[in-house]
Structure formats: C-alpha cells, structure tokens
Amino acid sequence: MLGCYSVFMQKFLRIALQYANDHDYGDLEYNLCAVLVRGGSVISVGYNKRTTNAFVEHYTDLARGQRDWCLSTHAEMDAVLQARQKTDLSGSKIFVVRKRIDQTLGVMAMAKPCEICQHVLYNYGIRRACYSIDDQNFGVMKIENPANKYKQKK
C-alpha cells in the first residue's frame, strides 16, 4: 500500500487531521475533514455537518435505503461546495480523515468516501482519494466513472 506517493499522502492526511482537531464539530457523532489538494497546495477544507445540500438532493435515489447519514453533508461534499465557485477542481486530489471521538483506540478511523461522494468527486474531475483507515494505515482509491459501475452490477 505504501508506494512512492506515501510521504505526500501522509503529509496531507496529517494536515487534514490538524484541521479536524481545530474544528468544532459540536455533538456530531462523526468527525471528518476533507482537504482538496492541487499542485501541492490545499485549495479547500470541508467538514461533515448535519445539514443537507444540493448534492444529496440530486442523488436522492442513491441515498435512499442507505444509512441516514447519507442525507447530511459529508466532508468531501463540503470541500467541493466551497471550492467549486472559485476554481476548476479537475485534477485535484482529496484527502479525508475521520477523527475518533473516543481516542483510547487511536486517533484516526475509516474515512473511505461513500458512493454519493464518489459521484460528486467524479463529476468535478477529482480522480484520486486518499483516506485514513486507522493510525497506521491509509487507503488510496481511484474514483471511477459511476456509470461503469452500474453496468457491471447488471
């Protein structure tokens, strides 16, 4: 899993974790932070929140039947929403961390982007996501065209 990009990736996961530590999540059960990175710089920072957003409404059919947190704003969506007016997001990468609330078992937890976020990221030209798994491990995922996924499922 640790390829030549691992130093780069760990750097931005650590930056995302710092943003998460500085953010007030209130009583939210999940504390996630996503940073969009292009050309080695952070272009936006997003946090999960309870409120819904235009993406979730757009992907209602996909969200239906999934866990209720799919109707809230995920950190990845928040990062895209904040940056999309300012800049072209294509070619950027997203780094997502989930900070544990109870840190007796470690600081970070699984933060793999859900299907709805993968749609959103793909549509904005973001093709690579890096996410925390736990304190020792992180995952890298290529964001595929969701249309191909549906074809495979049939």
Closest by alpha carbon to 128, among 114, 110, 144, 141? 141
Put residue 125 in one of left, alpha, beta given phi > 0 → left and psi -120 to 50 → alpha: left
Q: How many residues bind Zn ion (CB under 5 A)?
A: 3
Q: Which stretch binds Zn ion (CB under 5 A): 8-16, 28-36, 99-107, 110-118?
A: 110-118
Given candidates 62, 107, 114, 141, which one binds Zn ion under the rule CB under 5 A? Answer: 114
Minimal distance in Å, beta carbon 69 to Zn ion?
A: 8
Backbone angles phi, psi at 35, to 5 degrees: -120, 135
Tokens 């235009």 found at: 54
Sign of the Cα torsion 21, 72, 133, 10 reads negative
User: What are the phi and psi torsion angles at 114 (to 5°)?
Assistant: -80, 175
Is 117 a binding residue for Zn ion by CB under 5 A? The answer is yes
Q: How far apart are CA 143 and CA 34, in angstroms?
A: 15
Task: Single out the segment in contact with Zn ion by CB under 5 A; choices: 14-22, 24-32, 73-81, 95-103.
Answer: 73-81
Which lies closer to Zn ion via its Cβ, residue 10 or residue 72? 72
Residue from 20, 31, 46, 74 touching Zn ion (CB under 5 A): that is 74
Per CB under 5 A, which region of 14-22, 69-77, 95-103, 124-132 contacts Zn ion? 69-77
Under the binding rule (CB under 5 A), the answer on residue 98 touching Zn ion is no
Are 36 and 92 contacting, i.e. CB atoms less than 8 angstroms apart? yes
Is 63 one of the binding residues for Zn ion (CB under 5 A)? no
Chain residues that interact with Zn ion, rule: CB under 5 A = 74, 114, 117
